[in-house]
Amino acid sequence: MMTIDDFNFEKKKALIRVDFNVPLDEDFNVTDTNRIEAAKPTIIKVLEDGGSAVLMSHLGRPKGQRNDAMSLKHICAKVSDIIGVQVKFVDDCVGEEAEKAVAELKEGEVLLLENLRFYNEETSGDVDFAEKLSKLGDIYVNDAFGTAHRAHASTTIVAQFFPGQKCFGYLLAKEIKSIEKVMRTGEKPVLAILGGAKVSSKITIIENILDKVDHLIIGGGMTYTFVKAQGGTIGDSICEDDKMDLALSILEQAKAKGVQVHIPVDVVAANDFSNDADTQIVDVDKIPDGWQGLDAGPKTLEIFKEVILKSKTILWNGPVGVFEMESFAKGTISVGNFIDEATQKGAFSLVGGGDSVAAVKQFGFQDKVSYVSTGGGAMLESLEGKTLPGIAAILEG
């Protein structure tokens, strides 16, 4: 796997695909700088070698139209602050103006190109557009895991114009290694904690990881599809009735492969989907009519704790309750605490997928786990066993 450490960028221009698709407030201030900070080590490596960096990214979904609100000029000052170098900006990403700005770039300088998605050719993976992008650098560096599952011009197609001169940036290399640790090289026992509302959105992940894990914790809303499938009473809890056969088949597959599945035994049930609802703790398979399970119960958390603390490799994808409401956040916070404890004892813990990442940030766990993935969809497709086009394009040499 060619990484940025395999190259010396002295007197070279690095064309770096970063993921600066960051949230902005109404005054165009960046409200979450994580993605910019994540790209910093790669950019600094290029500059310290004596090279220059040409950064390309998308922002939002302008759908091929120029849109001032989605211009990357708005983030230029913040990128300069974080990197510690005054970042130049050019208001195009291909063509004469962009090529002139790159030609004038000196060693140690950074140039940010305008939003790639102002061109439909970016998302359609247009080869001519990718070739135009390729004129803007000597070495191609992909450091955008969040878009590695898309065969876009800047993430995949452009790589073919850099034979032997392409590599992964530090962030993307870390993402690949973290997923490999869970899926292939991790120390046993390996545990996957899968939460969230629906079995249907996690089927392919579950089926793919059953060969890799020793323990599987099922939490969140999909619990109730498994419980009802096994004959339990779930009151008004969320349930995918058409996935009950699938839930039973997953349990059978797990048993055949020697995977221990842990499903909640008790839950915090509420008489309304509201933070102020009345609550009671009930057995997961005896939830009364008019009540719905919204968080893991105390007995369940004891079981989860035991499993988490004896695991050496942990994947956490999805919360175990409606953590957005304070009344039903205890389960997710507890799981975070257990993973923190296991990590301190030497376990490798990877958190990925939108909701679990949001929970980890909300409750301050990002520095207490081994790695928090930056890519939602890309992470999920990796766990499903798919080869991501943005990764394959670099590996093809």
The CATH number assigned to the domain holding 195 equals 3.40.50.1260
Partnered with residue 316 across adjacent β-strands are: 193, 351
66 in active site: no
pTM: 0.86
Q: Are residues 140 and 161 in the same domain?
A: yes
User: Which helix (H) or strand (E) element contains residue 351?
Assistant: strand 348-351
* Residue 365 CA, distance from chain mean position: 15
Feature table: binding site for substrate = 19-21, 35, 58-61, 117, 150
Is there a domain that residue 180 lies in?
Answer: no
35 in active site: yes
How many domains, the chain?
A: 2
Q: Are residues 208 and 320 in the same domain?
A: yes
Tokens of 294: 């919204």
Q: Are residues 24 and 46 in the same domain?
A: yes
Q: What pLDDT was estimated at residue 171?
A: 94
Q: Are residues 222 and 143 in the same domain?
A: no
User: With 80 as the cut, is the pLDDT of residue 353 above it?
Assistant: no
DSSP state of 145: G
CA 396 to each of CA 157, 160, 163: distance values in angstroms, whole numbers, following the listed order:
12, 9, 9
Q: pLDDT: is 145 or 154 the higher one?
A: 154
Q: How many Cβ atoms are within 10 Å of 344's Cβ, its own excluded?
A: 9
- Single out the residue of 79, 14, 78 nearest to residue 42, CA to CA: 14
25-65, pLDDT tens digit by residue?
999 999 989 899 999 999 999 999 999 999 999 999 999 99
CA–CA separation, 390 vs 335, rounded Å? 32
354 in active site: yes
238-267, pLDDT tens digit by residue?
999 999 999 999 999 999 999 999 999 999
- Of the residues 135, 198, 305, 312, which is catalytic? 198
User: With 80 as the cut, is the pLDDT of residue 397 above it?
Assistant: no
- Maximum separation of any 2 CA atoms in the chain, in Å: 71
Q: Are residues 310 and 265 in the same domain?
A: yes
Q: Are residues 194 and 330 in the same domain?
A: yes
Partnered with residue 61 across adjacent β-strands are: none
Q: What pLDDT was estimated at residue 383?
A: 84
Is there a domain that residue 393 lies in?
Answer: no
Is there a domain that residue 231 lies in?
Answer: yes
Q: Are residues 219 and 118 in the same domain?
A: no
Percent of the chain at pLDDT > 70 equals 99
Q: What pLDDT was estimated at residue 202?
A: 87
88-92, 293-297, 353-357, 362-366: the lowest-pLDDT one: 353-357
CA–CA separation, 160 vs 125, rounded Å? 12
pLDDT bracket for residue 354 (50, 70, 90): low
Q: Are residues 141 and 251 in the same domain?
A: no
Q: Are residues 10 and 41 in the same domain?
A: yes
Is there a domain that residue 229 lies in?
Answer: yes
Q: Which amino acid does the sequence have at 118?
A: F
Domain stops at, among 118, 150, 173? 173
116-139, pLDDT tens digit by residue?
999 999 999 999 999 999 999 999
Feature table: binding site = 19-21, 35, 58-61, 117, 150, 202, 293, 324, 353-356
Q: Are residues 104 and 199 in the same domain?
A: no
Q: What pLDDT was estimated at residue 23?
A: 93
Domain stops at, among 114, 140, 173? 173
Range of the domain at 78: 4-173
Percent of the chain at pLDDT > 90 equals 85
Is there a domain that residue 372 lies in?
Answer: yes
Is there a domain that residue 102 lies in?
Answer: yes
Domain stops at, among 127, 142, 173? 173
Interval 193-211 mean pLDDT = 89
- Of the residues 35, 45, 78, 132, which is catalytic? 35
Q: Are residues 212 and 136 in the same domain?
A: no
CA 172 to each of CA 11, 185, 317, 356, 385: distance values in angstroms, whole numbers, following the listed order:
24, 18, 19, 20, 17
95-109, pLDDT tens digit by residue?
999 999 999 999 999
Is there a domain that residue 178 lies in?
Answer: no
Is there a domain that residue 339 lies in?
Answer: yes
Q: Are residues 150 and 10 in the same domain?
A: yes
User: Which helix (H) or strand (E) element contains residue 116?
Assistant: none
CA–CA separation, 56 vs 1, rounded Å? 22
Q: What pLDDT was estimated at residue 380?
A: 80
Q: What pLDDT was estimated at residue 172?
A: 93
- Of the residues 64, 108, 354, 385, which is catalytic? 354
Feature table: binding site for ATP = 202, 293, 324, 353-356
Q: How many Cβ atoms are within 10 Å of 298's Cβ, its own excluded?
A: 13
221 in active site: no
